Structure 1
Amino acid sequence: MTVILLVEDNELNRDMLSRRLTRKGFTVEIACDGAAAIERANELRPDLILMDIGLPVMDGFDATRKLKDDPQTQSIPVIALTAHAMMQDREACLGAGCDDFDTKPIELPRLLEKINSLLSKGAS
């Protein structure tokens, strides 16, 4: 089963997205801040990480940079999730090492397309 690490500090967003992904057949693990994301990624080695950018303790930019700098986790695809939808926000996320970018509020069909695209790249 495909494991997704959902890194989200907002409980309502976390619960809603977690339930929706679980219904689609994914196993969803949770981290509530950037530092916990790094710890959980090293522990779980998930197939993909959904990384909120505006996180406490360590933001999603720094957490992604640390994950991509670590040989143990650098190959895990990361999709940035943010309420900021400007082109420079997308570029900042990709510049931090994210493999893709999606905006909030989440449109599940669009996010699933991105998840499946990155997972299929990893499988090939």
Structure 2
Amino acid sequence: MAWYPENCPLCAAPVGFGLNSISEPTCCPSCGCRIEGAMFLLDFWERERTAIELSLSRPVTLETRLRELASDSLVVVELVMLLEGEMKVLVSDGDYEGLSDSQSVRELLSRLSYYVDAGRY
């Protein structure tokens, strides 16, 4: 069984261990992210943040607004493509619109947590 945090990896709220049928916490009661998916995405974000910061020439945090990263919505597409290649995040073309509604990096990772195919690791 995988290790699960006591607090949400994205918003730090107590998980409360709302259990599913196989006795594992599923979603954060505060931000709604899928706990397992968020853990994988946060690890990925921490690994890639330096490269992202170098390309932008300034610090990037989970609170960074997506509109600050680029002047158009391609930043979301590029991030998802990188995730698809690195972490087996599977996002259909129709789901990009919902992801583009994200305001911050934290919100984007929360929404992406539902697309992580954790069973492939």
Q: TM-score range by the shorter chain?
A: 0.3 to 0.5
Give the number of the structure with larger relative contact order, counting CA–CA contacts within 8 Å between residues 6 or more apart.
2
Determine which structure has more spread, i.e. the larger CA radius of gyration. 2
Using the size of structure 2 for normalisation, the TM-score is 0.32
Using the size of structure 1 for normalisation, the TM-score is 0.32
